[in-house]
Amino acid sequence: MSHTGPGPTIPELPLQALECFSVLAHQLHFGRTAETLGISQGRVSQLIKRLEIRVGAPVFERTSRRVELTAVGRALADEVVPAFRRLHEGFDAARASALAADRPMRVGFQCAVYEPVARAIAGLPEGATQLVELSWGDPFTHLIRGEIDVAIVLAPCREKGLHPMLEFSRQPMFLAVSGTHRLARGSHVSGSELSDLELIEPLGPAPDYWRQVNAPKKTRGGHELTYSAGAGTIQEALSTVASSRLGLLLCEASTRYVPRPDIRYLPAPDLEPTTLLVLRSERKQHGLADRFAELLVKNLR
């Protein structure tokens, strides 16, 4: 005689407790776990206690000084931590695809798309971004006008309405000169040698505070610098350098992305290093901006 009825009951997984366990297994600190999850430390303890009741054994050993996984906890972590990582990645990928279908995120950049930036973009769905090259001397206008969604530009930024999401890529400054220039034979360039040169500065509406960092008027040692020509892009400036006795200041990363056989790059230790900023508008944020910044941070490690 056949029998029909409900199938076996599948126990409901304590997903919130498992997520809490996954974070605590990585942090091994109740306070940092609470901060990561945006809940109270007491709530973390409560969730772990409930999980241990469901598992039937302690998953952490707690002392006044440290938190450690038990043997049962380690076995559980081997399965749960990768599973939650895949869940987050799958959810982020689905959300990014949905957002990209609405409108690609327009990413403005100065000088070059450096490798960590390119890898972060590659981590987003295909077609989710549109690259826009920005003028060397105009880092902020396109973002202020809403013509791009994210800008990767030379720091600093003090413009109202623009939000710095990330500062990265601290780079020493270099001098570019023609391969036939008298300085090309040296291993580096001093502050006094820089003061004897005429330099190329960025053309455009960049504010004075930005120029003081990226086209400095003085070296660390107090040597004054002179700018007698301008250029709209780094490539334009390099072409001028190659055919003249003028010099160009740029960061070390740029020297690797724009190598030229007719130009010599020399370290300039008497100049302050530069950094890059990822900026977005405070008024309107593209849905992929935070995901892009997260991927960039991962690719910088």
Q: Establish if 3 belongs to a structural domain.
A: no
The residue to which tokens 């120029």 are assigned? 211
CATH number of domain containing 82? 1.10.10.10
Q: Please give the average per-residue pLDDT across 79-96, as a whole number.
A: 80
Element housing 20 (H / E): helix 15-27
Q: What is the pTM (predicted TM-score) of this model?
A: 0.69
> Angle 230-233-198 (CA atoms, 0-180°, nearest 5)?
30
Same domain for 265 and 177, yes or no, is yes
Same domain for 202 and 71, yes or no, is no
Q: Please give the average per-residue pLDDT across 75-86, as a whole number.
A: 89
User: What pLDDT score does 99 carry?
Assistant: 60
Yes or no: say if 237 and 198 are a contact pair by the CB < 8 Å rule. Answer: no
CATH number of domain containing 156? 3.40.190.10
Q: Which of 77, 100, 123 is the last residue of a domain?
A: 100
pLDDT per residue as tens digits for the range 105-148? 999 999 889 999 999 999 988 888 999 999 999 999 999 999 99
CATH number of domain containing 186? 3.40.190.290
Tokens at 169, concatenated: 């890529």
Question: At residue 259, does pLDDT exceed 70?
Answer: yes
Q: Please give the average per-residue pLDDT across 35-44, as a whole number.
A: 91
- φ and ψ at residue 255, rounded to 5 degrees: -65, -30
**Pairing between β-strand 173-178 and β-strand 198-202 as defined by DSSP bridges:** unpaired
Number of structural domains the chain divides into: 3
Yes or no: say if 22 and 66 are a contact pair by the CB < 8 Å rule. Answer: no
Question: At residue 100, does pLDDT exceed 80?
Answer: no
User: What pLDDT score does 127 carry?
Assistant: 86
d(CA 133, CA 211): 19
Q: Establish if 55 belongs to a structural domain.
A: yes
Question: At residue 63, does pLDDT exceed 70?
Answer: yes
Q: Residue 44: which domain range?
A: 15-100
Same domain for 86 and 107, yes or no, is no
d(CA 7, CA 87): 27
Same domain for 108 and 94, yes or no, is no
User: What pLDDT score does 136 carry?
Assistant: 95
